[in-house]
Amino acid sequence: MKNGFLGILLLIFLLPASLGAVNPTELETQIEKIRREREVLVEEQKKLQAELEAVNREAATLGGAVKSLDTTRRKLVADINITNSKINTTNLSIQSLANTMTEKEEQIVTHRLAIRETLLALREYDSKPLILSVLASAKLSDLWGDRGRLDKLNVDLQTEIDDLRETKKVLSQEKEKKEKARLEQLSLQRELSGQKSVVEENKKAKERLLLETKSKEAEYQKLLAENRKNQQQFESDLYRLESELRLTIDPNSYPLPKNGILSWPLDSVTVTQKFGDTDFSRSGAYRGNGHNGIDFRATQGTALKAVLAGTVEGTGNTDEMNAQLRREGKSTCGSYGRWVLIRHSNGLTSVYAHMSATIVKTGQSVATGETIGYSGGQPGVNGSGYSTGPHLHLGLFASQGVQIRQFSSSLNCKHTIVPIADLRAYLDPLAYLPSL
């Protein structure tokens, strides 16, 4: 029995070296190699981002738009390569965690066997009365030797129990890490799917742009002018409808303005248009009624994040209806393009507009900072709406005052479904976002 017990203890120490289909050192080497390769990709991505921003600052011309789409395509390919790199790293991490978990599970089995053997040995000693042990012993020293081994078995038992508890604790922690890694993997897969759809849309946009403009600058300027006209018509219709809404809005149902309640929707923040009465709103499409959100500089395909945890109330794309209207020879509607509306638990609701792709669905729960889609706004790109350039429009409402409705009273947007709010429900996002 003693030899069997020592054999089990020896197995415990030898297990880590023999477990795992892939050597842990080899896995770490692979992860480090991918990390170094990703650093090169990130540097390439930064250069393309700077080039793209420079192109977008140029005058709005057909040549500039085509150049922007070409540069965007190259940057999107770099984005996809980086996401693939992250997925590969996560796969290796999951494999490493799986190996560790297998090791710990086998150690638990070994600990349990050792405990069982120790308990059997203790039971054998305890089953003999002391007088029988004395009579059975040829020498008194043998008896005390047996009692010494019994004390050692007690110590060994307690050690095995402590080791078992510690191994179970480590296994539980490794399982949590693996589950977290799997959730990260799913998120990365969704992001990759979104990025690929942006690339596809980018390709179609270039073809559509050249076809619709017949590769002529005058036709492109005509397209921009039509976008501005559609924007003015939509904003005018929207303001008229929202002025007539009389929804119940309890001022205590949402938080008072305070910086930091929301987080930024982009990793890199540049506000190009503020909320309310601005020069832009007085001279542009809003006809002096005030800009109903804030605009951020965001090149096409930039990841957009939820400003706060919440539930996706709805998604839509008014450009899809416009495509149908064009086929029928009817007037088109300038609107949000592709949008996402998220309702938050604190009485606030946020809307994200002019997106080139979304990766969330109605009813889905999202976390603060979770990627929900990708920015758009480049004319000719499906989802841009009435936008004349790449950007993100972020709107914020008191939840009680906003609804998703069919815009039936509009001149050209009768079939469009968009978020519509009582004018009193509009809030300044900058009053709730971190301080600039």
Instruction: Please state which of the ranges 73-87, 123-137, 246-260 shows the lowest mean pLDDT.
Output: 123-137
Residue percentage of the chain with pLDDT more than 70: 82
Q: Residue 333: what pLDDT?
A: 67
Give residues with Cβ within 8 angstroms of 32, minimum separation 6.
none
- Residue-level pLDDT at 254: 96
Residue 384 resides in a domain: yes
DSSP bridge partners of 376 = 391
For residue 428, is pLDDT > 80?
yes
Q: Which of 153, 156, 164 is nearest to 121 (CA)?
A: 153
Most confident of 220-224, 345-349, 376-380: 345-349
Distances (CA, A) of 311 to 72, 166, 290, 349, 368: 31, 39, 28, 9, 11
- DSSP, residue by residue, 343-388: EETTSEEEEEESEEEE---TT-EE-TT-EEEEEB--TTSTT-TT-S
Residue 304 pairs with which residues in a beta bridge?
373
Domain harbouring 299, CATH code? 2.70.70.10
Residue 205, in any domain of the structure: no
Query: Do 227 and 366 lie in a common domain?
Result: yes
Q: How many domains does the chain have?
A: 2
The pair of structure tokens assigned to 54 is 């420079």
Give the model's pLDDT for residue 136.
Answer: 52
Report the distance separating Cα 40 and Cα 143, nearest Å: 72
142 and 238 fall within a common domain = no
324 domain-assigned: yes
Given a cut of 60, is residue 3 above it in pLDDT? no
**Strand residue runs (E) in 69-110:** none
Is there a contact between 334 and 233 (Cβ–Cβ < 8 Å)?
A: yes
Same structural domain, 306 and 411: yes
Rounded Cα gap, residues 373 and 358, in angstroms:
4
**In this structure, which amino acid lies at residue 208?**
R
Residue of higher predicted confidence among 414 and 71: 71
Beta carbons of 434 and 257 less than 8 angstroms apart: no
User: Computed from CA positions of residues 13, 15, 20, 26, in that sequence, does the dihedral angle turn out positive or negative?
Assistant: positive
Supply 305's token pair. 């994040």
pLDDT digits (tens, 9 = 90+) for 400-410: 999 998 877 67
**Quick one: 353 and 417 in the same domain?**
yes
Digit-coded pLDDT (tens) for 262-310: 999 999 999 999 987 655 444 544 444 567 899 999 988 999 999 999 9
Cα–Cα dist 93/180, whole Å: 11
Q: Among 130, 158, 182, give the residue marking a domain's end.
A: 182
Residues in the chain: 436
Identify the pLDDT of residue 160.
82
> Any bridge partners for residue 350, and if so which?
342, 396
Q: Is the pLDDT of residue 14 over 60?
A: no
Is residue 159 domain-shared with residue 282, that is, in the same domain? no
Q: Crossing angle for the helix pair 217-244 and 140-213, nearest 10 degrees?
A: 110
Residue 386 phi, psi (nearest 5): -85, 5
CA separation for the pair 46, 54 (Å, rounded): 12
Average pLDDT taken over every residue of the chain: 82
Q: What are phi and psi of 124, to 5 degrees?
A: -65, -40
Q: Which of 135, 157, 182 is the last residue of a domain?
A: 182
Range of the domain at 255: 216-431
Residue 116, pLDDT score? 84
Most confident region among 57-66, 245-254, 264-273 by mean pLDDT: 264-273
Q: Report pLDDT digits (tens) over 124-180.
A: 666 655 455 545 554 545 544 555 666 777 787 888 888 888 988 888 898 898 888
Give yes or no: residues 163 and 229 share one domain: no
**Virtual CA dihedral for 372, 291, 65, 300, nearest 10 degrees?**
-10
pLDDT computed for residue 150 by the predictor:
67
What integer pLDDT is reported at residue 395 of this predicted model? 95
Q: Flag whether pLDDT at 31 surpasses 50.
A: yes
Last residue of a domain, one of 157, 182, 207: 182
- Whether 94 is in a domain gets the answer yes
For residues 233 and 380, membership in a common domain is answered with: yes
Closest CA to 418 of 436, 393, 435, 381: 393
Give yes or no: residues 150 and 254 share one domain: no
Answer yes or no: is 206 within a domain: no
Same-domain pairing of 231 and 335: yes
Both 237 and 384 in one domain: the answer is yes
**What's the whole-number mean pLDDT along residues 50-71?**
85
Three-state secondary structure call for residue 74: helix
pLDDT at 236 over 80: no
pLDDT of residue 325: 66
Question: Are 229 and 122 members of one domain?
Answer: no
Q: Are residues 153 and 286 in the same domain?
A: no
Is 192 inside a domain boundary?
no
Higher pLDDT, 148 or 28: 28
Is position 381 within any domain? yes
Average pLDDT over every residue of 325-345: 80
Residue 120 within any structural domain of the chain? yes
Of 301, 295, 302, 299, nearest to 271 by C-alpha is 295
- Closest CA relative to residue 250, chosen from 424, 420, 395, 421: 424
DSSP assigned state of 20:
-
